[in-house]
Amino acid sequence: MTITEKILCHHTDLKEIHPGMLINAEVDIALGNDITAPIAINEFKKAGGVKVFNRNKVVLIPDHFTPNKDIDSAQQCKLIRDFAREQELTHYYDVGEVGIEHALLPEQGIVLPGDLVIGADSHTCTYGGLGAFATGMGSTDLAAAMITGEVWLKVPETMKIVFSGKLRKWVSGKDLILYIIGRIGVDGALYKTMEFTGETVGQLGMADRLTIANMVIEAGAKNGIFAPDDVTKAYVAEKAKRPYMFYGSDPDAHYASVVDIDVSKIEPQVAFPHIPSNVKGISKVGKVDIDQVVIGSCTNGRIEDLRIAAGILKQRKAARRVRLIIVPATQNIYRQALKEGLIEIFIDAHAAVSTPTCGACLGGHMGVLAEGERAVSTTNRNFVGRMGHTGSEVYLASPAIAAASAVLGHIAGPDEL
């Protein structure tokens, strides 16, 4: 079996499973946010739900429109806050403690290798970076899991991605996943698992792995996964407060397809509007003037991302035409960035540094675009109107490209500085 099949199997009472089977599996963590949880809570109550199946395993994270952007979002947040209190949820984090969910849960050791995680947020797939099975669903699925502690799943086929070669300078996990999406398309892995393997994986730190797994949904995948190794061991050792399991694929595991990628041939990538698969190498971008740069999100708001950005922004300033917005994804990341002097570098570069929020990524608040404006963003989607007006444009890239672009006022790599 593959790693995904093994994790799924161990969460059922079956001995073996194979792609296409419909299974009922036990859930280790069920997650919701301030946009999706209100509908789930309503469904939970409508169905006669009294207590969630396990108060340690239902996690509610108000991170999208927080700090509350208006009265309506305040009402939504109150609804989940009241529910979290009433249910005495262990893992509810409010403003001041909260971070962007998919950065916060691994950091706090709430999700661990071998877990089965469902979340009413499409980027729940991020936790595959840790070697967990994690997939996004809707609010009703969350409501059902909150009651039963179980979820129905169709066992996915697996697409194996084999990385070989050495990463070029400025090439990160973000560039690898953008490159793959460009190559296979936004439905290239529809309903499938993307399993990342190969000699290059050892060169990828946990931040890069989480970034890659985060964006498998942009290829239509059900989940993305990295088999745990020494990097994983070091990452979870200090964070885990409960037992966890390392799984790996058997040598004779069956794969629906295999994609070989020589990373040494890949340059930094940029996804042009209005679809994440519209990807070009940085050398083929041309001169695209920009109005805003966002560095942050569940994709690229970790300390490693901020270090890269700070390394480029140090003793430089954002171009006058560019509004630079930097969002550390959690309070711990924010504190660490302060300690390391990164925040001072950002402020000196004329960046606005914000408290953790998903706001700008989905055009909610804290950096909405006007008609005709262009942004380079380290986020994950560049659909029409994603970050604001339907006449605005979003270019997806790594923190290195975003930081260099902010300084130059057009899309560019750090080598052009």
Partner 1 sequence: MKFRGKVWKFGDNIDTDAIIPARYLVSTDPAFFAAHCMEDADPEFVKKVSAGDIIVGGENFGCGSSREHAPIAIKAAGISCIVAKSFARIFYRNAFNIGLPIFESKDLWNIVSEGDVIDVDGDNGTIAIIGGKKPPLHIEPVPPFMQELVNDGGLMKHIAKKKL
Q: Smallest distance from the beta carbon of 327 to partner 1, in angstroms? A: 16
Q: Tell me whether residue 388 or residue 413 sits nearer to partner 1 (CB atom).
A: 388
- Residue 237 in the binding site for partner 1 (CB under 8 A): no
- CB-CB contact of 93 with 104 (8 Å): yes
Number of H-type helices and E-type strands within the chain: 13, 18
* Cβ distance to partner 1 smaller for residue 79 or 227: 79
Rounded to whole angstroms, how far apart are CA atoms 364 and 386? 9
CB 31 to partner 1: min, Å: 11
Min dist. Cβ of residue 374 to partner 1 (A): 17
* CA dist list (Å): 355 to 34, 128, 184: 16, 26, 35
Indicate which single residue of 62, 363, 399, 413 sits in contact with partner 1 (rule: CB under 8 A): 363
Question: What's at 7, amino acid-wise?
Answer: I
Distance of CA 119 to the CA centre of its chain: 12
Residue 362 or 401: the one with the smaller Cβ distance to partner 1 is 362
Q: In 3-state terms, what secondary structure has residue 3?
A: helix
Is 13 an interacting residue with respect to partner 1 (CB under 8 A)?
Answer: no
Residue 272: DSSP 8-state: P
The only residue of 136, 224, 296, 399 in contact with partner 1, by rule CB under 8 A:
136
Q: Which of 364, 367, 413, 414 binds partner 1 (CB under 8 A)?
A: 364
Which residues within the stretch 281-340 sit at the binding site for partner 1 (CB under 8 A)? none
Question: Of the two residues 31 and 204, which places its CB atom closer to partner 1 in the complex?
Answer: 31
Other beta carbons within 10 angstroms of residue 390's beta carbon come to 12
Amino acid in position 236: V
Work out how close the CB of 383 gets to partner 1 at its nearest, in angstroms, rounded to a whole number. Answer: 5
Distance, CA of 367 to CA of 391 (rounded, Å): 15
| 121 scored as a contact of partner 1 (CB under 8 A) | yes
Directed axis angle between helix 71-86 and helix 37-46, to 10°? Answer: 50
Cβ-based nearer residue to partner 1, 20 or 286: 20
- DSSP assignment of 113-173 equals TT-EEEESSGGGGGGGGGT-EEEE--HHHHHHHHHHSEEEEEPPPEEEEEEESPPPTT--H
Complex with partner 1: residue 7 or 342, whichever CB lies closer: 7
Residue number, 108 or 148, with CB nearest to partner 1: 148
Among positions 22-41, residues that touch partner 1 (CB under 8 A) are 22, 35-36, 38-39
- By beta-carbon proximity to partner 1, the closer residue of 190 and 240 is 190
Is residue 375 within 8 A of residue 395, CB to CB? The reply is yes
CA distance 330 to 100: 6
For residues 137-176, which are near partner 1 according to CB under 8 A? 137-141, 143-144, 147-148, 152
Q: Where are the beta strands (DSSP E) in 236-373?
A: 257-262, 269-271, 279-281, 292-295, 323-326, 351-353
Nearest to 182 by CA among 266, 57, 121, 245: 266
Residues 333-362 binding partner 1 (CB under 8 A) are 362
Taking the least distance from each CB to partner 1, the nearer of 22 and 237 is 22
Q: Residue 40 or residue 112: which is nearer to partner 1 going by CB?
A: 40
Binding mask 190-229 for partner 1 (x = CB under 8 A): xx-------------------------x--x-x-------
Please say which residue, 192 or 374, places its beta carbon nearer to partner 1.
192
In our burial notation (b when 16+ CB lie closer than 10 A, e otherwise), range 278-310 reads bbbbbeebeeeebbbbbbbbbbbbbbbbbebbb
- Residue 308 near residue 403 (C-beta atoms within 8 A): yes
Cis omega (within 30 of 0) on the bond before 251?
no
x/- track of binding to partner 1 for residues 100-119 (CB under 8 A): -------------------x
The CB-of-304 to partner 1 minimum distance in angstroms stands at: 26
Give the interface size with partner 1 as a residue count (CB under 8 A).
50
Q: In the range 35-94, which residues lie near partner 1 by CB under 8 A?
A: 35-36, 38-39, 42-43, 46-48, 64-65, 70, 72-73, 75-76
Sign of CA dihedral 25, 185, 275, 216: positive
Which residues are at the interface with partner 1 (CB under 8 A)? 22, 35-36, 38-39, 42-43, 46-48, 64-65, 70, 72-73, 75-76, 119-122, 124, 136-141, 143-144, 147-148, 152, 186-187, 190-191, 217, 220, 222, 275, 362-364, 381, 383-386, 390
